[in-house]
Chain A
Amino acid sequence: MAGELPFEQPLVELKQKIAELKRFGEEKNIDFTEEIARLEERYAKLAEEIYTNISPSQKMHLARHHQRPTTLDFIQHIFTDFIELHGDRLFGDDMAIVGGLARLNGVPVTVIGHQRGKDTKENIARFFGSPHPEGFRKALRLMQQADKFKRPIITFIDTKGAYPGNTAEERGQSEAIARNLRDMALLGVPVICVVIGEGGSGGALALGVGNRVLMLENAIYAAISPNGAASILWKDASRADQAAEAMKITAADLKAMDVIEEIIPEPQGGAHKDVEAAAANVKDALWRHLAELMLLSTDELREDRYGKFRKIGKFATYERV
């Protein structure tokens, strides 16, 4: 095991202790079975305690964990016959977004998602999962293609945000995001979005206008990254943890505000501890929601999606005197 986060340190230490005791027992031929069982019981209890009380900032670190499964990992575990399609037909092929055709339990679907890299080299090629306009335009092209062929659309959201670069601005970053928001509202097929890691700002939302928006238990979703918020609020980006606590970014927060429909459980300690189990949970949720949405007509699907977003927002109304 590697990549444990600071809040998991007590578990790491206990695990080491158990391993040492086992080794010592074997070396010296002493029977520690009882002690080991007791320690393992303690471990399970401690793990339960730590993992059921993960704070928003700890979730932020889990959502950004370098071993956390990416879009392509989920695609591999959930779908069959995946074939990746490329390019926006206007400028290029942005590797920060992947998309293509696949089957979910035999049903042909279009699947699209932000794609982070697994290592530095891949991350550079994929701009750390932060799309340029051509990425959003590729996504929209594939969505409109799905609409034409009446295929449901599944998107995976996992980005710090749209790429903040001069070339992105020149090619119309605002326009690309805005157009996705508008034209996703017009799709006549089921659209299900799953926030699998970090849902950062407009770059996340540009794949997020779905009939159903689901979130993995430890995923986060916000208008601005906690780092960005901290640097604006307190002129100190290192206070991201503090901002994360204030910003209501967790799946449970968003469910309470009716922004998302369902929280998908993760294996204990996070999706990266058992990718297969995490993917199985996602697949189960996708299939349930898809089965419901496939009963709706084109118009009903559009109205359902419009209604979902139309009602979001909280404000007061007062009488003027």
Chain B
Amino acid sequence: MFKDLFQKKKYATVPSASVHDDRPKREIPEGLMNKCPKCGTIQYHKELEKNLKVCSQCGHHLRLNALERIEMTLDEGRFFEYDSDIVSEDPLGFPDYPKKLKQQQAKSGLDEAVITGEGTIGGFPVVVAVMSFDFFTGSMGSVVGEKITRAIETAMQKQYPLIIFSTSGGARMQESILSLMQMAKTSAALAKLHEAGGLYISVFTDPTTGGVSASFAMLGDINLAEPGALVGFAGRIVIEQTIRQKLPDEFQTAEFNMKHGQLDLVVPRKDMRQTLIKLIDLHTVKGDVTHGG
């Protein structure tokens, strides 16, 4: 019944993402072959797509943009976008900001660093927010903060689980203090969701740092990450300058964070969808609980 209700909604089909900008520099014919940015193995583009953009040789998880991620995660064609009409302004009159916004839009084919909306996953209705690193390094300004906050509020109102896929370089300095305050705004909204008993699953993808890592991304009831994803607060270079030491390669990887108790699970991309479905399912009361075995 619940599902039927859901069917009647007007859903837009996600355009099959054809964004190639996040691929490494090509030394090979456009669109045909890809080179893994980590191990350098050359593989067919089609093959890589089939493998969910994970290198078949070394297992490196290439970065995805929001559209690709939504397509890969939710039930096919079942996504309705929220708040696509809110766009960044230049509140501080910061040098070159409007120009940079235009460049980022042209480069990524996206309006902003996050897409929010609702859809279904394994039949479960969910609210999702998915960030893209290829738009302004996924930085959080007023628009990102507002869209995430509205998504949290909608999840609370509709009592749907909330899933946020994060990737971000942190605050958008062109909006300075307004950007910083989005950390407090999104976290305060999560405080309300938390009190209301709503489920929030946070998924860290490569890379998630700074103001996003230190606000909504770390506040999941369950924190997941993709293998090898960079997760941390301060940047490696700043830390190396502060402590005057070289840091090991595995510093701030998902596995490093797992070891230090910051994450619940590191989940390979091929298992992400099923893991999310299982976690949501485990939060759903089914059948007659009084006769449960």
Q: How many residues from A make CB contacts under 8 Å with B?
A: 55
Please indicate the chain A residues that have their CB under 8 angstroms from the CB of B89 in the complex: 314-316
Given A178-B214, A313-B182, also A172-B262 (CB < 8 A): yes
**Pick the contact of B211 from A202, A232, A312, A314 — CB < 8 Å?**
A202
Check B213 for interface membership: any CB of A closer than 8 A. yes
**Pick the contact of A222 from B146, B180, B232, B261 — CB < 8 Å?**
B180
Other than the given A181-B183, A202-B180, A249-B177, 12 more pairs (CB < 8 A) read: A169-B232, A169-B260, A175-B214, A177-B233, A179-B219, A182-B191, A202-B215, A205-B181, A221-B180, A312-B178, A313-B146, A317-B86
Check A66 for interface membership: any CB of B closer than 8 A. no
Please indicate the chain A residues that have their CB under 8 angstroms from the CB of B1 in the complex: none
What is the 8 Å Cβ interface bit string for chain A, positions 151-193, against chain B (1 contact, 0 not)? Answer: 0000000000011111011111111011101110110000000
Interchain CB contact under 8 A, A173 and B234: yes
Query: Is chain B's interface secondary structure helix, strand, loop, or mixed overall?
Result: helix
Closest-CB distance, B94 to chain A (whole angstroms)? 6
Interchain CB contact under 8 A, A168 and B219: no
Check B194 for interface membership: any CB of A closer than 8 A. yes
Interchain CB contact under 8 A, B234 and A169: yes
Given A165-B242, A174-B213, A185-B191, also A318-B85 (CB < 8 A): yes
What is the 8 Å Cβ interface bit string for chain B, positions 111-146, against chain A (1 contact, 0 not)? Answer: 000000000000000000000000000000011011
Check B218 for interface membership: any CB of A closer than 8 A. yes
Interchain CB contact under 8 A, A173 and B95: no
Check A281 for interface membership: any CB of B closer than 8 A. no
Of A224, A253, A309, A315, chain B has the most CB atoms within 10 Å of the CB of A315
Please indicate the chain A residues that have their CB under 8 angstroms from the CB of B234 in the complex: 162, 164-165, 168-169, 173
Closest-CB distance, A250 to chain B (whole angstroms)? 10
- Assembled-state Cα–Cα distance A201/B179 (Å): 10
Closest-CB distance, A126 to chain B (whole angstroms)? 15
Given A223-B211, A259-B177, A313-B185, also A172-B261 (CB < 8 A): yes
Please indicate the chain A residues that have their CB under 8 angstroms from the CB of B32 in the complex: none
What is the 8 Å Cβ interface bit string for chain B, positions 227-249, against chain A (1 contact, 0 not)? Answer: 00001111100110011010100
Given A178-B219, A257-B178, also A164-B185 (CB < 8 A): no
Check A229 for interface membership: any CB of B closer than 8 A. yes
Closest-CB distance, A114 to chain B (whole angstroms)? 16
- Assembled-state Cα–Cα distance A96/B72 (Å): 45
Closest-CB distance, A188 to chain B (whole angstroms)? 12
- Assembled-state Cα–Cα distance A183/B87 (Å): 29
Chain A's closest residue to B92 (CB) is A248
Interchain CB contact under 8 A, B233 and A162: yes
Interchain CB contact under 8 A, A309 and B85: no
Check A209 for interface membership: any CB of B closer than 8 A. yes
Interchain CB contact under 8 A, B213 and A313: no
Chain A's closest residue to B239 (CB) is A164
Interchain CB contact under 8 A, A186 and B173: no
Q: How many residues from B make CB contacts under 8 Å with A?
A: 63
- Assembled-state Cα–Cα distance A181/B182 (Å): 11
Interchain CB contact under 8 A, A319 and B233: no
- Assembled-state Cα–Cα distance A150/B84 (Å): 43
B residues 181-231 near A (Cβ < 8 Å) are: 181-185, 187-192, 194-195, 210-211, 213-219, 231
Check A246 for interface membership: any CB of B closer than 8 A. yes
What are the 7 tightest A-B residue pairs by CB atom distance, in nearest-first order?
A164-B234, A313-B142, A181-B187, A185-B188, A223-B180, A314-B91, A223-B171
Interchain CB contact under 8 A, A172 and B260: yes
Of A174, A208, A254, chain B has the most CB atoms within 10 Å of the CB of A174
Interchain CB contact under 8 A, B187 and A257: no
B residues 138-190 near A (Cβ < 8 Å) are: 142-143, 145-146, 149, 170-173, 175-185, 187-190
Check A59 for interface membership: any CB of B closer than 8 A. no
- Assembled-state Cα–Cα distance A253/B171 (Å): 18
- Assembled-state Cα–Cα distance A221/B178 (Å): 11
Given A202-B214, A316-B86, A317-B86, also A166-B185 (CB < 8 A): no
- Assembled-state Cα–Cα distance A175/B252 (Å): 13
- Assembled-state Cα–Cα distance A247/B152 (Å): 29
Interchain CB contact under 8 A, B185 and A182: no
- Assembled-state Cα–Cα distance A205/B233 (Å): 14
Chain A's closest residue to B234 (CB) is A164
Check A320 for interface membership: any CB of B closer than 8 A. yes
Please indicate the chain A residues that have their CB under 8 angstroms from the CB of B233 in the complex: 162, 164, 168-169, 173-174, 177, 202
Closest-CB distance, B252 to chain A (whole angstroms)? 6
Please indicate the chain B residues that have their CB under 8 angstroms from the CB of A305 in the complex: 188
A residues 291-318 near B (Cβ < 8 Å) are: 305-306, 309-310, 312-318
Interchain CB contact under 8 A, B91 and A320: no
Interchain CB contact under 8 A, A164 and B181: no
Please indicate the chain B residues that have their CB under 8 angstroms from the CB of A205 in the complex: 180-181, 183-184
Please indicate the chain A residues that have their CB under 8 angstroms from the CB of B194 in the complex: 182
